Amino acid sequence: METLDMAGDWVDLLHCPPTVTRITRIPAMATQAFTAHGYTLYPSPRNEHRIMFEHHVFVPHPYALIDLPSFALAGRSSLFAACRLSDGKMGQLVSFELEVDLAHFETHFTPD
């Protein structure tokens, strides 16, 4: 099974972990913005994983500090500054490999 990523390259999904059903490769430079899933995204230079995972949540607090390692997540995650295209709302988009991490984040995150 293969899918076309945003850069136009083919991604081999057969060699991804079984929990990843859809991935989007992020441009190499952290300062480059790209559009995916209805958002203009600006990758955090502190992202350990340069992938946008299937499970994600928009946090409408652009200046909130989100320290992903402090959440002790079971799977991989990544963080982006984001602009929601539907209404221009700025915020952050947190992307998770596992749905249980998304639920954990939603219940434990409180903006400053």
Q: What 3 state SS string does 17-30 have?
A: CCCCCCCEECCCCC
pLDDT of residue 18: 53
pLDDT > 70? residue 5 = no
In the chain, DSSP finds a helix count (H) and a strand count (E) of 1, 9
* Predicted pLDDT of residue 108: 96
Specify the pTM: 0.72
Mean pLDDT of 62-88: 95
28: pLDDT strictly greater than 60: no
Is the Cβ–Cβ distance between 34 and 6 less than 8 Å? yes
Question: pLDDT per residue over 30-70, tens digit each?
Answer: 458 899 989 999 998 888 887 889 999 999 999 999 999 99
Residue type, 50: R
Give CA 104 to chain center in angstroms. Answer: 15
Q: Where are the domains of the chain?
A: 2-108
Residue 30 and residue 8: Cα distance in Å, rounded? 19
